[in-house]
Amino acid sequence: MPTYEAVIGLETHIQLNTASKIFCACKADSWDDAPNTNICPVCTGLPGVLPVLNQAAVEKAALLAAAMGAELQPESFFDRKNYFYPDLPKGYQISQYDQPLARGGAMDLPTGDGQTRRVNIHKLHLEEDAGKTVNRADGARLIDFNRCGVPLVEMVTGPDLRSADEAAQYLIRLRQLLRWLGISEADMEKGHLRADANVSIREVGSTALNTKTEIKNVNSIDSLREAIKAEIERQTRAVDSGQPIEPWTLGWDEKTGKLSMMRSKETEADYRYFREPDLLPIVLDEEWRAAIGSSLPELPLARRTRFMQQYGLPEYDADILSGERALSDYYEAAVSAYGGDPKRVSNWLMNDILAMLNEGGLSAAELKLTPRYFAEILKLMDAGKVNTPTGKSLLQKVQASGSSPDALVRSESLGQVSDESALRAQAEEVLAANPDQVASYRAGKEALMGWFVGQMMARTKGKADPKTTQRILVELLKQ
């Protein structure tokens, strides 16, 4: 049997987080609202109304285009994409067809082995969303028009992805980028980010593009990965047994974990595209396009690479710390306030502070434990002023109270006890109170050292300097 490789392209729809819809003043995000409460004559397609383009939608889409390295077109147009469906009240969707907002662009996807996979984007365009059809158990079909006219960006990749995992990685990186830029909530469960996958297979070494199928209605990254895997396996079995691949549209059933055929694919000509006569072209002059480009922040993949180079972080750390913009800003602020080993800051951040963020459902920008306070606690530990367990609890106390670490160390007398004579006196008391353990230790049961240290910690409420304590205990127990 020949070996095959998968050829996968993703078509994504991204809901922009503008306040209002793309062509009217209705609220754009109506996830929590009752059906048909955020609608008006424009987004429900009543006769005689005119759409007005939302500038914020153009700006946000342009920012994404710039981040993808796509070229913003000086002039682009809206078109009508005609089809008949109950949740599309106008009978057409306002979209962009042959003159889109931006062309070209790519994302360089880290593949984990230090290599990258370039995923090309053919074009990026603006369009409006359709409504939502709800099929009720009693057979009734209900329609909610709230989503009509919500601004979307459609972005289609080339057939550049080679496995289900790469497709999932692309979506993960895209979601990260959208949140980083602050242009979409990118929550797949709420439909802010939707992906359809085109899948075909070919023999390894071939450059042919064979007949592809399209997988629709996948609403999580895990489902997308599973659905693509299942389809690659299905196509492989079909080709090996001599059956042709038909250009089907497939749906993914979350509950059964199975693909089902939805319909044989429509061709583009069915949509009878023509120019939208009620909207002017989008004209973006050179100055405006340049301003968008220069307003771009450092992007997550660039920051990830810089973290490895500038701070000597392993790929794993750099990946996590650049996962979210607020977290990576927090890390850099803490490194600069600390002034010591950046890896030490990373270790503490990834263990204690990430746990704190996850437990509280917080963003790093919301922490009362500011990067400066975090750095101060690291310095207190480095200087031996507090020990590690106290340092850990100090992180929690600062987060709970918002007080500075120094103030807490003073007010709660958390300072580490490293005064020799005080510790020696305590240790003598511990030994005097536990003659049996002392005898066993002296008889060779040296594992009891941990127990003695524990007694000392209990007496000093965890403030004893562990190194000094152990040295004193060893000395006293020798006698």
User: Among Zn ion, Mn ion, none, what does residue 26 contact (CB within 5–8 Å per kind)?
Assistant: Zn ion
Q: 125: buried, middle or exposed (CB in 10 Å: 19+, 13-18, 0-12)?
A: buried
Helix axes 55-67, 286-294, angle to 10 degrees: 60
User: Among Zn ion, Mn ion, none, what does residue 40 contact (CB within 5–8 Å per kind)?
Assistant: Zn ion
Nearer to Zn ion, 21 or 304 (CB): 21
Rounded CA-CA distance 451/448 in Å is 5
Lookup: tokens for 51 = 């759409």
User: Among Mn ion, Zn ion, none, what does residue 24 contact (CB within 5–8 Å per kind)?
Assistant: Zn ion
Is residue 154 involved in binding Mn ion (CB under 5 A)?
Answer: yes
CB of 12 to Mn ion, least distance (A): 9
Nearer to Zn ion, 26 or 398 (CB): 26
Is residue 129 involved in binding Mn ion (CB under 5 A)?
Answer: no
Q: What residues make contact with Zn ion under the rule CB under 5 A?
A: 24, 26, 40, 42-43
CB of 149 to Zn ion, least distance (A): 5
Q: To 10 degrees, the CA torsion angle through 430, 432, 438, 439?
A: -170
Nearer to Zn ion, 42 or 259 (CB): 42
Cα Dmax for the chain = 101
Rounded CA-CA distance 453/471 in Å is 10
CB of 13 to Mn ion, least distance (A): 6
Lookup: tokens for 81 = 């994409």
Nearer to Mn ion, 154 or 166 (CB): 154
CB of 57 to Zn ion, least distance (A): 14
Q: How many beta carbons lie within 10 A of that of residue 331, not counting itself?
A: 28
Region of 38-46, 117-125, 146-154, 187-195 interacting with Mn ion (CB under 5 A)? 146-154
Nearer to Mn ion, 154 or 352 (CB): 154
Nearer to Mn ion, 154 or 226 (CB): 154
CB of 127 to Mn ion, least distance (A): 5
Nearer to Zn ion, 43 or 438 (CB): 43
User: Are the CB atoms for 101 and 76 separated by under 8 Å?
Assistant: yes
User: Among Zn ion, Mn ion, none, what does residue 226 contact (CB within 5–8 Å per kind)?
Assistant: none
Q: To 10 degrees, the CA torsion angle through 97, 98, 102, 105?
A: 100
CB of 247 to Zn ion, least distance (A): 36
Is residue 128 involved in binding Mn ion (CB under 5 A)?
Answer: no
User: Among Zn ion, Mn ion, none, what does residue 154 contact (CB within 5–8 Å per kind)?
Assistant: Mn ion
Q: Which residue is nearest to Mn ion (CB)?
A: 154
Q: To 10 degrees, the CA torsion angle through 355, 361, 364, 369?
A: -70
Rounded CA-CA distance 70/63 in Å is 10
User: Are the CB atoms for 193 and 14 separated by under 8 Å?
Assistant: yes
39 Cβ contact list (under 8 Å, min separation 6): 26, 145, 146, 148
**Residues in contact with Mn ion by the rule CB under 5 A:** 154
